[in-house]
Amino acid sequence: MEAHAHPSGPFAVGTFSSGDGPRFAGLVRDGRVLDLRTVPDLPGGGATTRGLLERWDDALPLLHAAAESGDGDGDGTWTPLDGLAVHAPVEPRQILQSGANYRTHVIDLAVAHEPEGGRPAEQVREETAAMMDRRAAEDQPYMFIGLPSSVTGPYDDVVIPSWCKKPDWELELAAVIGRPAYRVSTDEALEHVAAYTIANDLTAREAVFRRDMPEIGTDWLRAKNPPTFTPLGPYLVPSAFVGDPGDLRVTLKLNGDVMQDESTKDMIFGVARLVAYASQTVRLLPGDLILTGSPAGNGMHWGRLLRDGDVMEGSITGLGAQRNRCVTESAEDA
């Protein structure tokens, strides 16, 4: 993951703790962290990243100035990153997730879900590709709701529930809302995105479709929202440092083997369209997350799902890298 291990730009922002101390918002630069509670005039006293996001336009110039204060090697207000625990970079109030937003991913899933003896794979691919083209032409993203309680840190263990037999990975680009957004246009939408981060939107594949009620459709509650099923971070990278969110590389390794390695160019709907679409229904708030969907290369495609002891390493160009070990919940803990 070396190529993506460090975020791009002059600095990033995250949530940290030292020992048993409280969590705090910190500014990351060159392997060091500045406790933002020590920076005067920051919104919310610099205590939380969500407090910063709530007045992002005011906070950003102060963060730039604080980053520049770290030029002196002997500055004692900065702490080595290696000595701190890194937590999920923000506590969102709302998580909006885009489904079926990467062409190749959706086609691969359709082939993987086709029952034995069903349609030929080539026919499934052609029909699914035509469906994707219709969706793009009709300009209708598909979004559903995730729960903040599923969020965990970028280096924390992922706990696979004892009932979950088909746990899968889905590394995704996440847009982080700064300015509140309600009924904004696609042209305006990116003005409301303060930063980007990495999310791994884990899925219990066997729970996606309710077999007892097929007419109702997908069961996103059970499939997506167990605790720890959304590793987030490591940092919030301000959008100005990211460049084009439609041209980033999304890479996931499982035990060192590359499973996902795709450009966000394969998205059907870009970040601006997703934010605008979500905002037509939902009042998006500072710190909320828009997950943009998973590229191709999940476990269903490979015929290899997550197991106890597996290690996932996920990176996106310019956003750093996360590393999570899988631990299977014992029946006694369930």
Convert the pLDDT of each residue in 263-316 to its tens digit. 999 999 999 999 999 999 999 999 999 999 999 899 988 999 999 999 999 999
Contact between 204 and 228 under an 8 Å Cβ cutoff? The reply is: no
Tokens for 149, please give them.
Answer: 């309680």
Indicate the fold that domain 95-328 takes in CATH.
Fumarylacetoacetate hydrolase; domain 2 (3.90.850)
Contact between 143 and 98 under an 8 Å Cβ cutoff? The reply is: yes
Contact between 19 and 251 under an 8 Å Cβ cutoff? The reply is: no
Convert the pLDDT of each residue in 87-125 to its tens digit. 999 999 999 999 989 887 777 777 777 777 788 888 888
Looking at the DSSP bridge assignments, the partners of residue 81 are none
Enumerate residue ranges in the chain where pLDDT < 50: 1-4, 72-74
Supply the pLDDT for residue 2: 40
Cα angle: 28, vertex 32, 36; to 5 degrees: 55
Contact between 253 and 313 under an 8 Å Cβ cutoff? The reply is: yes
Supply the pLDDT for residue 276: 98
DSSP calls for 292-303: ----S--HHHHT
pTM of the model: 0.91
Pairs from 112-120 (Cβ < 8 Å, separation ≥ 24): 112/300, 112/301, 112/303, 113/300
Contact between 150 and 159 under an 8 Å Cβ cutoff? The reply is: no
Domain segments of the chain as ranges: 2-87, 95-328
Supply the pLDDT for residue 333: 66
Task: Give the Cα separation of 43 and 280 in Å (integer).
Answer: 28
Supply the pLDDT for residue 127: 84
Supply the pLDDT for residue 212: 85
Supply the pLDDT for residue 176: 98
Supply the pLDDT for residue 155: 98
